[in-house]
Amino acid sequence: LDTPLFAGLPGDIAVSFEFFPPKSEKMEAQLWEAITQLAPLEPSFVSVTYGAGGSTRERTHATVSRIVNETALVPAAHLTCVAASKGEIAEIADQYWEAGVRHIVALRGDPPPSDGGRFIPHPDGYAGAADLVAGLRKHHDFEISVAAYPEMHPEASSLEADLDNLKRKLDAGASRAITQFFFANDAYFRFLDKALAAGITAPILPGIMPVTNFDAIRRMSANTEIPGWLEATFEGMDERPGPRALVAAVVAAEQCRRLYAGGVRDFHFYTLNRAEQAYAICQLLGLRPRGAHGTHKETAA
């Protein structure tokens, strides 16, 4: 009990941050404030999501382009198969390539509510993410990341079938997977074991979601177990966003500390366009901004 929980963590980790494209000038300012605060942690990449049904096509492109033009960060553009033909996707991919983007997060996407919750491929489109990865590969030499589900995708017939699908995506040319958020680390570790047994050797980055709004998390957690202790931890905090954010940072930092203790060194943060929690967790894991220890080339010189 005398040893501080986070004592001595050397910060030998790599991090990446996910953002969503802003809808208004105010949200744009908030996004850029977050990017500016997190950039000194030198993430391996920063990804920008693609709205359901391709609804943010232009905004995703604009955000990714601004990252290319105004920062030294490596952007990864999310791209989905929903409501787009192969030709339209090729066009989007060409535009990214020309803009200097070299990393795509390739996804099937969720079906629009009008399709009754079932994914119906565009008649000239891709059937799913594995198909999309193969299609992107034909056009450009993108680095490609795909999604993984430690607690199984809700539409999968079994965890084994879902792992087969993940393997297909990697075999088609993706080089890394990023997981859906989870709170039960055991599920993630079991998933890594099963993936390895299925011959998957690519990195599977845990997606870390600090809880900013517990109700929203519950709504989004189709298959994600919400442990009783988590529910109890956030009890009565719905109307207290300030303290709730502090509690959320502690809970997510402790989750990451346990993942670190289990050997994880790569972390992907769902930032929801806010820097504070992701930054605080990185700090507790020992990560420091460039030059803070005087070890970076620029400061050492």
- Interface residue with ligand FAD among 5, 27, 29, 161 (CB under 6 A) is 161
- What is the size of the binding site for ligand FAD (CB under 6 A)? 23
Kindly state whether residue 109 participates in binding ligand FAD, applying the rule CB under 6 A: yes
Residue 18 annotated as catalytic: yes
Q: Which stretch binds ligand FAD (CB under 6 A): 34-42, 105-113, 134-142, 279-287?
A: 105-113
Kindly state whether residue 176 participates in binding ligand FAD, applying the rule CB under 6 A: no
Q: Please, which residue, 22 or 207, has the CB nearer to ligand FAD?
A: 207
Kindly state whether residue 171 participates in binding ligand FAD, applying the rule CB under 6 A: no
- C-beta nearest to ligand FAD: residue: 128
Kindly state whether residue 180 participates in binding ligand FAD, applying the rule CB under 6 A: yes
Structure tokens belonging to residue 231: 């529910």
Kindly state whether residue 50 participates in binding ligand FAD, applying the rule CB under 6 A: yes
- Interface residue with ligand FAD among 153, 176, 244, 274 (CB under 6 A) is 153
Kindly state whether residue 49 participates in binding ligand FAD, applying the rule CB under 6 A: yes
Kindly state whether residue 165 participates in binding ligand FAD, applying the rule CB under 6 A: yes
CA distances 185 to 12, 27, 259, Å, are 20, 32, 7
Long-range contacts of 286-295 (CB under 8 A, 24+ apart): 286/6, 286/8, 286/9, 286/10, 286/11, 286/12, 286/13, 287/11, 287/13, 287/15, 287/41, 288/11, 288/41, 289/40, 289/41, 289/42, 290/40, 290/41, 290/42
Map residue 14 onto helix, strand or coil.
strand
CA–CA separation, 238 and 18 (whole Å): 24
**CA nearest 271: which of 24, 13, 33, 26?**
33
Kindly state whether residue 107 participates in binding ligand FAD, applying the rule CB under 6 A: yes
Kindly state whether residue 61 participates in binding ligand FAD, applying the rule CB under 6 A: no
- The residues annotated as belonging to the active site are 18
